Amino acid sequence: MRILVTGGAGFIGSNFTRMALKLNPGWKVTVLDKLTYAGRRENLVEVEKDPRFRFFHGDICDSDAVSLAMKDCDAVVNFAAETHVDRSIHDSSSFVRTDIEGVRVLLEAFREGGRRMFLQISTDEVYGSVEHGRSGEADRLDPRSPYAASKAGGELLAMSYFSTYGVPVVVTRASNNYGPFQYPEKLVPLFVTNAMDGEPLPLYGDGLNSRDWLFVDDHCRALLRVLEDSAPGKVYNIGAGQEHSNREVTDLILEIAGASRELVRYIEDRPGHDRRYALDVSLLEEELGWTAEIPFRQGLERTVAWYRDNRGWWETIKSGEFREYYRSMYAGRLEGSVGER
Ligand code: NAD
Ligand code: TYD
């Protein structure tokens, strides 16, 4: 099988590419990635010399680049996306372009080939904020940020190609991932690296918003199961059932990293901040026999150890484009912040 992994130079895509090649000696993987601020060739250095791996630098909105990369591929796993909620609030244009129009371009190229599966990587954020219970795959979609709305548009468009043209689409909706190679704009890597540098940890609002945390390896294993055995037209939630408030996540990071609680700052909240995400994953467990294996503390310990051992990776990022991003997002809010509650 030859798989096209779009967005394979990003966080989850690079972890998936490494795992797919390691566990499947007969597979070949092509990565197509635009190398935006979030994508890095060095994330793929471990597989760079593998003869089963090839890399194309290109945009999923560019039909010529897509046709070239998709040639001879049996399956597509579409990770390519703009992914950060805070950036989508600031400017949603690239989100609509990549997360919806990019999916359309991929689907059009995919239609021509008589291929096996188009796996659209979506998110639990399409359900919106869930105050009680857990979201099931048949629940109403209620995306509340430009990021979540763009991802909902992308997955609905993909499913429409299944209904209309019989394209073998499968959609997965994963909860918040954490682990090695995550760009330090997201909560876990931002707080881990700030803690290591003795910088403030800026918690939004009251810090009691909660997420269902999934170690990236567990996510990638679930995707491999879906690729192997899922029927077209299916939607699967992927989550580990490990709900923690942002305060709890922060406390655990500080403990594991051995940093002071005085670094915690409560700052002005994100607009429209979803209070809680939680997934019912019984469909994936029952149909495909997958369960999450990595407990949150263990996953976080592995993550902290990786950032400790790979300081050069994140210091390079944090001294580039990120510096201006961080200043514009946080400097004003940190001025009016308060410490530990
Ligand atoms: P990321 O931001 O780390 O990586 C995204 C990758 O896509 C980057 O390599 C980037 O260069 C590439 N890309 C962006 N626009 C592109 C374009 N137009 N053409 C080609 N490549 C492009 O993201 P991630 O956290 O690895 O997320 C991967 C996927 O998983 C996304 O679709 C995201 O919505 C989904 N997801 C993420 C999480 C999470 O917690 N990180 C949870 C659920 C679902
Ligand atoms: P994030 O990693 O941006 O993922 P998402 O918004 O897609 O769930 O944020 C996770 C949670 O952490 C979310 O409730 C927002 C919160 N958060 C902070 O409190 N401070 C921060 O600096 C960041 C980036 C996030």
Question: pLDDT confidence of 123, banded at 50, 70, 90?
Answer: very high
- Kindly state whether residue 95 falls inside one of the protein's structural domains: yes
Assess if residue 197 is contained within a domain.
no
Which one of the listed residues 82, 137, 147, 326 is annotated catalytic?
A: 147
- Over residues 115-125, the mean pLDDT reads 98
pLDDT above 70 (res 341): no
Residue 13 lies in a domain: yes
Averaged pLDDT for residues 81-103? 98
Of 82, 124, 212, 243, which residue is the catalytic one?
124
- 289 in a domain, yes or no? no
**pLDDT tens per residue across span 28-54:** 999 999 999 999 999 999 999 999 999
Given ligand 2 and candidates 203, 211, 327, which is best to mutate, with the most ligand atoms within 8 Å of its CB? 211
Among 50, 71, 56, 74, smallest CA distance to 1 is for 74
Q: Give percent of the chain above pLDDT 90.
A: 97
Tell me, yes or no, whether 81 lies in a domain.
yes
Cα(202) to centroid(ligand 2), Å: 10
Q: Is residue 146 part of a domain?
A: yes
Residues 190-211: pLDDT tens digits?
999 999 999 999 999 999 999 9
Classify residue 208: in a domain, yes or no: no
What is the Å distance from ligand 1's center to 258 Cα? 30
Q: Which helix (H) or strand (E) holds 57?
A: strand 53-57
Instruction: Residue 9: give its domain's CATH number.
Output: 3.40.50.720
| Domain total of the chain | 1
* CA–CA distances in Å: residue 6 to residues 30, 37, 246, 248, 295: 8, 15, 30, 33, 28
Give the ligand whose atoms come closest to the C-alpha of residue 274: 2
Round to whole Å and give the CA distance between 126 and 172.
11
Residue 228: partners with Cβ closer than 8 Å, 6 or more residues away:
none
- For the chain, what is the mean pLDDT? 97
Which residue range forms the structural domain that includes residue 96? 2-178+214-238
> Is 124 a residue of the active site?
yes
Check if 203 has its Cβ closer than 6 Å to any atom of ligand 2. yes
Q: Tell whether the model's pLDDT for residue 339 goes beyond 90.
A: no
Instruction: Write down the pTM of the prediction.
Output: 0.98
d(CA 316, CA 240): 31
Q: What is the mean pLDDT of residues 239-264?
A: 98
**Is residue 97 assigned to a domain?**
yes
